[in-house]
Amino acid sequence: MKIILSTTNPSKAQQIKAMFDHPDIEVLTLQKPALRAKLSRTA
């Protein structure tokens, strides 16, 4: 499962990622350039 966080705050992202610390969960943030580009094209 992938969870996309709509934050660019690195501290907040780390706190939230810690809550979802599970091998089957991938937490993504808007800090990843490829994800940011993909979201801006589809919005």
| DSSP one-letter string for 1-43 | -EEEE----HHHHHHHHHHT--TT-EEEETTSHHHHHHHHHH-
Q: Which DSSP symbol is given to 40?
A: H
- The 8-class DSSP code of residue 43 comes to -
Q: Is 29 exposed, middle or buried (0-12, 13-18, 19+ CB in 10 A)?
A: buried
Give pLDDT, residue 35: 60
Domain ranges for the chain, please list them: 2-42
Model pTM? 0.57
Per residue in 1-43, pLDDT (tens digit) is 988 888 888 899 899 999 998 999 988 887 765 665 666 655 5
